[in-house]
Amino acid sequence: MGAGLSGLSAAAAADEVNVYSYRQPELIQPLLDKFTKETGIRTNVVTASSGLEERIAAEGEFSPADVLLSVDVGRLENAKALGITQPIVSPIVDKNIPAIYRDPDGSWIGLAMRARVFYASKERVKETALDYEDLAKPEWKGRVCTRSGQHVYNIGLFASLIANDGEAKATEIIEGIKNNLNGKPSGNDRSQAKAIYAGECDIALGNTYYVGLMETDDREPEQKKWASAMRVIFPNANNRGTQVNISGVILAKHAPNKANAMKLIEYLSSDEAQEYYADVNFEYPVEPGLKVNPVIAALGPLKPDPLPLAELVKYRKLASEIVDKVHFDDGPSN
3-state secondary structure of 19: strand
Q: 94 and 127: one domain?
A: no
Please give the Cα distance from 77 to 4 (Å, whole number): 25
The alpha carbon of 250 is separated from its chain's Cα centroid by a whole number of angstroms, namely 15
Q: 34 and 80: one domain?
A: yes
Q: Tell me, what's the pLDDT at 96?
A: 98
Q: 188 and 274: one domain?
A: no
Tell me if 259 is assigned to some domain.
Answer: yes
Q: 28 and 147: one domain?
A: no
Q: Tell me, what's the pLDDT at 273?
A: 96
Tell me if 300 is assigned to some domain.
Answer: no
Tell me if 183 is assigned to some domain.
Answer: yes
Q: 103 and 154: one domain?
A: no
pTM, entire model: 0.92
Closest CA to 74 of 160, 195, 190: 160
Q: Tell me, what's the pLDDT at 1?
A: 34
Task: Give a three-class secondary structure readout of 212-258.
Answer: HHHHCCCCCCHHHHHHHCEEEECCCCCCCCECEEEEEEEEECCCCCH
Q: 168 and 317: one domain?
A: yes
Tell me if 301 is assigned to some domain.
Answer: no
Q: 92 and 122: one domain?
A: no
Helix or strand holding residue 314 (H, E): none
CATH assignment at residue 90: 3.40.190.10
Q: 72 and 196: one domain?
A: no
Tell me the binding residues for Fe cation.
Answer: 209-210
Please give the Cα distance from 166 to 107 (Å, whole number): 27
Q: Check residue 7 and report its DSSP letter.
A: G
Q: Tell me, what's the pLDDT at 2?
A: 39
Please give the Cα distance from 166 to 111 (Å, whole number): 29
Q: 80 and 103: one domain?
A: yes
Q: What angle do CA 243, 32, 5 make, to 5 degrees?
A: 90
Tell me if 302 is assigned to some domain.
Answer: no
Tell me the binding residues.
Answer: 209-210
Closest CA to 279 of 266, 261, 291: 291
Total domains present in the chain: 2
Q: What is the mean pLDDT of each run of 10 residues along the chain (334 residues)?
A: 44 82 89 96 95 97 97 93 98 98 97 97 97 98 98 96 97 98 97 98 97 91 95 98 97 98 98 95 96 96 96 96 98 87
Tell me if 254 is assigned to some domain.
Answer: yes
Q: 317 and 179: one domain?
A: yes
Give the structural domain span for 49: 5-113+245-294
Q: 173 and 315: one domain?
A: yes
Q: 179 and 216: one domain?
A: yes
